[in-house]
Amino acid sequence: MNKYKILFLDIDGTVLRPDDTIEKSTKQAIAEVKNKGIEVFLATGRPLHEISHIAEELNIDSYIGYNGAYAIYKGKDIFKSPMNEQTVNTYIDIAKNNGHELVLYTHEKNYFSNLESPIVQEFLQAFHLQYNEQFTPEVTPHILGITLIQLSKHDPKLYEKADRTIHLSQVNVDGLRHCYDVIQDRVNKGVAVQSILDHLHIPVKAAIAFGDGMNDKEMLSLVGEGFAMGNGHPELFQYAKHKTTKVTESGIYNGLKTLGLVE
User: Which DSSP state fits 224?
Assistant: S
* Contacts (Cβ under 8 Å, ≥6 apart) of 25: 250, 252, 253
Residue 200 β-bridge partners: none
pLDDT tens string 62-105: 999 999 999 999 999 998 999 999 999 999 999 999 999 999 99
Quote the CA–CA distance of 50 and 120 in Å, as a whole number. Answer: 17
Write down the CATH number for the domain with range 6-81+187-258. Answer: 3.40.50.1000
The CA-atom distances, in angstroms, between 150 and each of 37, 80, 115 are 43, 28, 14
Strands lying side by side in the sheet with 101-105: 132-134, 110-112, 101-105, 145-149, 180-184, 166-170
- Give burial (CB, 10 Å; 0-12/13-18/19+) of 238: exposed
* pLDDT surpassing 70 at residue 1: no
pLDDT tens string 13-52: 999 999 999 999 999 999 999 999 999 999 999 999 999 9
Determine the pLDDT at residue 87.
95
Q: Which CATH class is domain 85-184?
A: alpha beta
- Give burial (CB, 10 Å; 0-12/13-18/19+) of 202: middle
Determine the pLDDT at residue 253.
98
Average of per-residue pLDDT values in the chain:
94
* pLDDT surpassing 80 at residue 2: no
Quote the CA–CA distance of 94 and 243 in Å, as a whole number. Answer: 37
Determine the pLDDT at residue 208.
98
**pTM, full prediction:** 0.88
Q: Hey, where are the domains in the chain?
A: 6-81+187-258, 85-184
pLDDT tens string 209-243: 999 999 999 999 999 999 999 999 999 999 999 99
Quote the CA–CA distance of 263 and 256 in Å, as a whole number. Answer: 9
